[in-house]
Structure 1
Amino acid sequence: MSEWKIRFGTAGTSDSFTAMGYKNSLDIPAYTEKMGLDAFEYQCGHGVRLGLDKARQMADDAAARGILFSVHAPYYISASSLDEEKRLNSVNYLLQSAALCRALGGRRVIFHSGSCGRQAGKLPWKKRWTP
């Protein structure tokens, strides 16, 4: 049986990142350690833009400091869109996020799947709740 380890970290950096003299993504593990944290959620809200080689460098530094990464996938994922192209693109965004997470040595990808929106009346298993 595996033992649980609760980790604490931030989702992205704050103004303190640059105020403390840090300049780029490679500085994230040092920043996270300096804050006394052991986890960091890398934000890809507007697209997966971190190169995998750079991510692997960050992973090595983070592992040496006992820090674990997770990745927040792009916000524009819409797995339930009526538009097939949007759904297929959403799968690609998730795969890109997963590849980045793996390169960062992480184990979790966080994403928002989108809502059924206009499909609500068309889904037989979706019941409307009324108080």
Structure 2
Amino acid sequence: MKMNETLRHLRCATQHLQLYDILKYRSMHRDKVRSERDKQSLNDLVLSELHLIANNSYKGFEVDKLHQLFQSTYFLQSSNYMAAIRIYRQLLELFDQHPEQILDPPLYYLDAVLGILDSLLSARLY
């Protein structure tokens, strides 16, 4: 029973990471959302991510971190800079509450810092 629960959590975390990687790839290789087609493609990813969150019984740092990384990247990509800044702020607070996780791996913390800087620059709040 415990093993099945652990496997379910790992599968969910892997799917969440895949969705985040797809979103990150799109944000690096495409411009901000401009057309209806781009918006629909992005919304499909968001719906998949929300489905994962809603059906995941495990709550903890990893789930919160991935959800906030995904949401903040989505808002940044869809040019909603103030929402992105708000989510990035929550993410940095989450890392402050769990300092041992900052370097495990450091890429996610770096994504949060660079994301908030990019959001501030895009919103012209410098």
TM-score (norm 1): 0.30
Query: Could you say which structure has the larger radius of gyration?
Result: 1
TM-score (norm 2): 0.31
- Relative to total residues, which structure has the larger helix share, 1 or 2? 2
- Relative to total residues, which structure has the larger strand share, 1 or 2? 1
